[in-house]
Amino acid sequence: MNIKVVGIAAGLLLASTSAFGQSSTVTGAAGGAATGAIVGGPVGAAVGGIVGGVAGSVIDPPPQQVVTYVQQAPAPAERVVVEKVVVGEPLPETVVVTPVPDDPKYAYAIVNDQRLIVEPSSRKVIQVIE
């Protein structure tokens, strides 16, 4: 019975993190452990911490000055189109990623007419600017 509850909690954690992934940073291991403890006690806390740590973002949300810079950056002369942009997934190598001058932890790209904040080393999309 305890294993079923823990499995259900892990599934709910994964489902909820994918819903929040596009617009905010997930609380990660701490949030997963707290939710797991509520649902499944000590075993739930351990599983929740692992699931939350995997689903949580390693990168902090970008500071407002980075968001503002990306919002105001000039668009490329040619429109760049890729099949799908997913927060947490890397952009294809064909997409030009431009560093943010005042904060080397961040870069940006404009893809499918969307402005994206990207982690330069992995090319992972951190945030889509709406």
Residues pairing with 98 in the sheet:
108
Helices first, then strands: H and E counts in the chain: 3, 4
Q: How far apart are CA 23 and CA 10, in angstroms?
A: 21
Look at residues 124, 106, 110 and name the one whose alpha carbon lies nearest to residue 66: 106
Crossing angle between the packed helical segments 2-20 and 29-55, to the nearest 10 degrees: 70
Sorted by where each starts, the structural domains of the chain and their CATH numbers stand as 84-129 (3.10.450.160)
pLDDT tens track of the chain, all 130 residues?
A: 444 544 454 444 444 444 444 434 343 555 555 555 565 666 665 555 565 555 454 567 899 999 999 999 998 888 999 999 999 999 999 999 999 999 999 999 999 999 999 999 999 999 999 8
